[in-house]
Amino acid sequence: MLPLENSEDIHSSVKTYYGKVLTSSKDLKTSACTAAAAPHSIVRKAIESVPKAVNDKFYGCGNPIPLGIKGKDILDLGSGSGRDCYVASALVGPEGSVTGIDMTDEQLQIARDSIGEFEQTLGYTPKLKFVTGYIEELQKAGIEPSTIDVCISNCVINLSPNKKLVLEGVHQALRKGGELYFSDMYADARLPESVRKNDVLIGEGIGGALYVKDFEQMAKEIGFAHPRVLSISPIAIKDKELQALVANTRYYSITYRLFKTDEHKATKRTGFTARYLGTIEGHEDKYELDIDNVFDKDVSTLVSRSTAAILSSSWLSGFFAVEETPNSASGLAALPSTAKTLINHLRRLEQQSSNASGGCCSTGGAQGGCC
Ligand SMILES: C[S@@+](CC[C@H](N)C(=O)[O-])C[C@H]1O[C@@H](n2cnc3c(N)ncnc32)[C@H](O)[C@@H]1O
């Protein structure tokens, strides 16, 4: 991992790519932007309210905007032309706030220029701002520690030459119980230098994609709770030359959830149940915390300690009732699947469907679908 002072080449290559080379979403050479399943109808409606100039320069690879964030303080890493910030701004309402941070002036200009138009659509002045800066240096850009409830990011962290600095900065910026909810590009293996040093592959996110196992290990070392995978879809590389360069490596768009919560300090024999109250607008019947943990409204479910900690002490705590169940073995309930396990599962499905010619190539619980 490069320290920031040695990463200027990558920063400047990425700035050129997003500021000067790409003119609109259509110029991307991978299907990362289309790999993700359709957003929730509430998010779709919010996207329709976003000014056209902003939507036209959307370069994300997922839908990292959770529902239930009314009144929350949101930070978007690598906000680009600002689409996700505008959507989040509509969802947090007049009491919440949204800050986007990006290093590319051309992108920031589009994001800032459309706030007036958006204000007219909303009918109130949103607390929405865009700051210039590096996502590796959040504090330098004015993001104070413990001020953010939910940090989102859409296809950006893979572009950073120092992902550890980014995650450490986010951990510091989040309030206790806060969350990094983000979509990004990952590889199923460590990447060779020929891929990591190719400018187009870096710009498209392929060159900097982290091996899923390394990423999850890094997140835990920084202090986040066990990483949750919310959705995972394969990314197709359309360009023949790029296909040859990446050879057998497979890439995935993954939406991860990293919570800043501590594990429950219960005794070994204590278990937990969680009951979803059905109070998040848009998720009235059920709530999907991750691929393995989907809660039906008003049904008590045994959960692991890590899940109990998330549901009782994160920003989601108001939406759940969590109870200790003494003398139960549920405290030992399995942790949710790692991305590597899910990738292996996808590969098996792919194999089966190619044997049977045709089938599903994506997983993601309620948010997944066929591509
Ligand atoms: C793939 S685009 C995604 C933009 C936006 N999130 C979206 O969904 O449209 C990547 C953006 O991240 C920004 N970016 C990349 N690396 C960055 C860094 N180290 N610090 C700040 N911004 C960065 C780029 O300038 C670009 O606008």
Is residue 294 domain-shared with residue 149, that is, in the same domain? no
Q: Which domain holds residue 294?
A: 271-332
Query: 86 in ligand 1 pocket by Cβ < 6 Å?
Result: no
Is residue 305 domain-shared with residue 176, that is, in the same domain? no
- Averaged pLDDT of the chain: 87
**Contact in structure between 295 and 301 (CB atoms under 8 Å):** yes
Is residue 289 domain-shared with residue 252, that is, in the same domain? no
> 233 vs 153, which has greater pLDDT?
153
Q: Is 221 exposed, middle or buried (0-12, 13-18, 19+ CB in 10 A)?
A: exposed
- Structural domain ending residue among the three candidates 199, 230, 259: 259
User: What distance in Å separates the CA atoms of residue 160 and residue 137, rounded to the nearest whole number?
Assistant: 11
**Contact in structure between 260 and 174 (CB atoms under 8 Å):** yes
Tell whether 266 is covered by a domain: no
User: What's the total number of domains in the chain?
Assistant: 2
pLDDT category at 365 given cuts 50, 70, 90 is very low
Tens-digit pLDDT profile for residues 296-309: 999 999 998 899 99
Local structure of 293: helix, strand or coil: strand
Query: 148 in ligand 1 pocket by Cβ < 6 Å?
Result: no
Question: What's the gap in Å between 279 CA and the centre of ligand 1?
Answer: 33
Query: 226 in ligand 1 pocket by Cβ < 6 Å?
Result: no
- Residue 173 contacts by C-beta under 8 Å, 6 or more apart in sequence? 75, 138, 139, 143, 144, 145, 146, 147, 148, 151
Tell whether 341 is covered by a domain: no
pLDDT of residue 327: 63
Q: What are phi and psi of 229, to 5 degrees?
A: -100, 120
Tell whether 361 is covered by a domain: no
Other CB atoms within 10 Å distance of the CB of residue 127: 16
pLDDT for residue 361 is more than 60 = no
Which CATH number is 279's domain given?
A: 3.40.5.100
Which CATH number is 201's domain given?
A: 3.40.50.150
Residue range 343-366: average pLDDT? 62
User: What distance in Å separates the CA atoms of residue 288 and residue 292, rounded to the nearest whole number?
Assistant: 8
Tell whether 147 is covered by a domain: yes
Is residue 77 domain-shared with residue 97, that is, in the same domain? yes
pLDDT of residue 337: 82
User: What distance in Å separates the CA atoms of residue 74 and residue 63, rounded to the nearest whole number?
Assistant: 15
pLDDT category at 332 given cuts 50, 70, 90 is low
From atom 10 of ligand 1, which residue's Cα is the shortest distance away? 156
Tell whether 290 is covered by a domain: yes
